[in-house]
Amino acid sequence: MISRLDPATGIKTVLLSEEGTVAAVPAACPDGRSIVFLFALHGGARTQNIWLMDASGGNLKQLTNVKLTDWPVCSPDGQTVFYIDTEAVNTLMKVPRNGGESQKVSSLPVAGNLEISPDGKTIIFPTLEHAGDHRPRLALVDTGNGQTIKLLDFERPPNGYSRFTHDGKGIVYSVSEHGIDNLWLQPLDGSKGRQITNFASEEIGKSFHWSPDGSKLAVIRGHLDSDVVLIRDMQQ
């Protein structure tokens, strides 16, 4: 199910609900009129593909026709949808918004979420460094020619998704310390980063996003509750 929530009124509107299917990872295109998302098990097929629909939930259109995909995002001009082909070793791909043949963008394996810079020229994603200690690094890739611009070390161990700042000059990601998550801003010019939230409890993980104008930051915070159960005299 995919729903739209009005932050001003709290009213929730169901956009897509189809029995026996899974709809997930919705992302609004910058024009505000379309949404890309993952649609699995549609028509009984054991596949998970990229679909497009109007912001009202109508005019559904399938953009890919493979076995398994993940993390669709629209380019700022709304003409291209980037995604991960998870069947092809987490390969970065792109497909025209109006449908057509998909193209491979980069050979670097994607190990997390995709995020496109505000000017549409750069796409970022975590990738694994296979030399040395196999640490995650942030790949900056040219959206036009697919060339790797740079591989960036994280200043702090990331604990979730990476997102561009609204001006495109830095990235923001969650970091965890003593079970508490906060957001860390790391400039792309190599200057020292800084913590931009000061929460004293709860986790953030993957759940934060900027408003379209960059003036607000939405954060979902929470925690997991666990019960400990002691079982005595259990027979083998």
* Rounded Cα–Cα distance for residues 29 and 126 (Å): 22
Let me know: does 61 contact 52? Beta carbons within 8 Å.
Answer: yes
> pLDDT by residue (tens digit) across 137-188?
999 999 999 999 999 999 999 988 899 999 999 999 999 999 899 999 999 9
> Which amino acid belongs to residue 32?
G
Let me know: does 81 contact 73? Beta carbons within 8 Å.
Answer: yes
> At 223, is the secondary structure helix, strand, or coil?
coil
For the chain, the average pLDDT equals 90
Highest mean pLDDT among 2-6, 33-37, 228-232: 33-37
Nearest to 149 by CA among 172, 168, 132, 130: 168
> For 1-117, CATH number?
2.120.10.60
* CB-based contacts of 49-52 (< 8 A; 24+ apart in sequence): 50/81, 50/83, 50/95, 52/81, 52/97
pLDDT at 234 over 80: no
Extents of the domains making up the chain: 1-117
Paired tokens of 136: 């995650």
Q: Which H or E element spans position 176?
A: strand 170-177
Highest mean pLDDT among 110-114, 125-129, 132-136, 219-223: 110-114
